[in-house]
Amino acid sequence: MHRETRSTLNNQISEEAAEWFVDFRTGEIDASGRRAFDDWVRRSPEHLRAYLEFATIWNQTAAIDAARALDIDALIALARSEGSVVSFESAEPSPRPRAMRKWRTVSLAASLLVVLVSALTWFLFYRMPVYATQVAEERSFRLPDGSTVELNARSRLRVRFTDAERTVDLLEGQALFHVAKSPQRPFVVHSGQTRVRAVGTKFDVYRKPQGTVVTVVEGRVAVSVGSASPEAPSASSASEPGAKMFLSAGEQVTVTAHEIPRLVQANVEAVTAWTQRQLVLDAMPLIQVAEEFNRYSTRKLIVEDLGSPALRLSGVFAADPDFLIRYLRDRRDITVQETETEIHIVRRPAH
């Protein structure tokens, strides 16, 4: 799965940049505030970069303009109309004309860069915003249509709303959607080749390396396989492209590239336990258990299960992997070795 480059900006700088952006967007900033922004943005190149809020703009700009649909002049005009242009003023006048000219040139270049940055930020943030979480981080937010999304740890999605359709691309991880009713604007979630369509309902979508799991909590959704999506892999699905399955509350389907999807009854509370920072395991192989806990661990869990049959775990675990590690250490057939970056779990074969 293609992974876009993640922002490495300092969280504090990102938060400051977001506050500045909101201030300029709402117009709640005076001349002294503009001077303060001038000082802030000159303090470090990272500050100017952070003004984007989403560093993915650098990776997505080319894709957005692939059809050369963006008019830079129009974007700059839009930025000016939005009040996003910041006038940089020299803090101290220089007595040397040459130095003054050089300073004005630098200021003009910086101003133009801010204009372009602001325009592109507007396009991405308001037309295709990206929401993401890091290790052990969960996030809940409301979309412009009133729908709410709970995003699990190490997850990422992109929103593409139009007047005709509300589209979300689940790029990585897991999300629980509570969709606001709007019969004229269906709500569609893309996860690889899986397309989930709803009008007003509540459902969970989990994009795993092996496929996508869709679980309906409330209402009814239509799941189609092999639908076109910007993130869809080239491999064809075992199901007929475009074929639809209808799921009602309590039902679940797993869509993979090589198996025909099967409708099953799901334990909805277990599926959504992650919203309470819990993991409910039901005879899950140890290797898959490690994959689940890696969403919450800063150190990667690496499993080598040499026993036969494979060890399967059941029970309710806190999302924090510490309890799991203590549990595994207590088993005589398992050795746990920890480093600063990894936790190696080896299950020896029975004698």
CA nearest neighbour of 202 among 177, 222, 175, 182:
177
Q: Are the beta carbons of 206 and 212 closer than 8 angstroms? A: yes
State the amino acid at position 238 in one-letter form: A
Q: What is the pTM of this model?
A: 0.62
62-66, 74-78, 295-299: range with highest mean pLDDT: 295-299
pLDDT number for residue 113 = 56
State the average pLDDT for the chain: 76
Residues in the chain: 351
**What's the CATH fold of domain 130-268?**
Jelly Rolls (2.60.120)
Strands in 342-347's sheet, in edge-to-edge order, are 300-305, 342-347, 334-338
Bond preceding residue 233 cis, omega within 30 of 0 = no
User: What is the residue-wise DSSP string for 72-112?
Assistant: HHHHHHHHHHTT-------SS--S-HHHHHHHHHHHHHHHH
CATH 3.55.50.30 domain position(s) in the chain: 277-347
State the amino acid at position 159 in one-letter form: V
CATH number of 277-347: 3.55.50.30
Decide the pairing of beta strands 187-191 and 166-178: parallel
Q: What is the pLDDT of residues 168-220, one digit of tens each?
A: 999 999 999 999 998 888 999 999 889 999 978 999 999 998 899 999 999 99
